[in-house]
Amino acid sequence: MARRPDPELEHRILDAAHRLWRRGGEEALTIRAVAKAAGTNTPAVYRRFKHRRDILRALVRRIQLQLLAVFEPCHSPAEIAGALLEFALKHPREYELTMSGAVPALADARPNLNFALQRTASWLGGSPADHEKLVFALWALTHGTASSLNSKTLSPEQGEKMRAAFEPAVDVLVRGMNQPAKR
C-alpha cells in the first residue's frame, strides 16, 4: 500500500528548522538535524527542500510575512521604523537570519521594503520612488540600532542612550527628507 503524503510535514520541517536556527544559528541547521527535530527522515526533507538554502529561504519568507503583519497596523514611516526595531530586539535570531548572508540574493523578494515604500507614498504623497532615500535611511538607522543593541557590546547605560536617541533621530529623518530641497 502506498504511503499517503503528510500535509503537515513541510510545516513541521520549517518549525523544526526555525527552532534549530533560534538555538544555534546556521551551524545548527543541518538536514539531518532538521529531519530528526521534525520527526521524519532526511529523504523526506530532501523531497520538499532540495538544498539547505531552500529551507533558509522558506524561513526568511516566513519571517518576512510575520514582519509584514507587524508593519500593517502602522500609520507612519516612524511607526514602521519603531516596529522594525522592536521586532529585531524581541526576535534577534529571526532578524539575524533575514539580514544575514545565509540566504543570498533575496533582493527580488522584499515584501517589507515594498510595503514601506508603498505606505510611505500613501502617507506623504508622491510615488514610492520619491521616498526611497527616506525608507533606506530609516532602515539604515534602525538596522544599526538593532545590530548594536543585539550585539550586547554596549553597556546598559549606552544601550539606554541609544534607545533614547532612536526616536528623535527617526523624527529628524522623516521631517528632513519630507522637506522640499533647498536650491
Residue 31 pLDDT class (50, 70, 90 cuts): very high
Residue 36 pLDDT class (50, 70, 90 cuts): very high
* Phi, psi for residue 113 in degrees, rounded to 5: -65, -45
Mean pLDDT of 83-106: 84
Residue 103 pLDDT class (50, 70, 90 cuts): low
Looking at the chain, the whole-number percentage of residues with pLDDT higher than 90 is: 70
Yes or no: domain 1-50 corresponds to CATH 3.40.50.300? no
Mean pLDDT of 36-54: 93
Q: Mind listing the pLDDT tens digit for each residue in 108-135?
A: 567 899 999 999 999 999 999 999 999 9
What ranges do the domains of the chain cover?
Answer: 1-50, 63-177
Whole-number pLDDT of residue 179: 62
Round to whole Å and give the CA distance between 122 and 126: 7
Residue 143 pLDDT class (50, 70, 90 cuts): very high
Whole-number pLDDT of residue 109: 64
Q: Tell me what percent of the chain is helix, strand and coil, each rounded to the nearest 5.
A: 75, 0, 25
DSSP string, 40-81: S-HHHHHHH-SSHHHHHHHHHHHHHHHHHHHHTT--SHHHHH
Round to whole Å and give the CA distance between 131 and 174: 10
| Cell (9 digits) for 44 | 523526506
Whole-number pLDDT of residue 98: 86
Q: Is the pLDDT of residue 181 over 90?
A: no
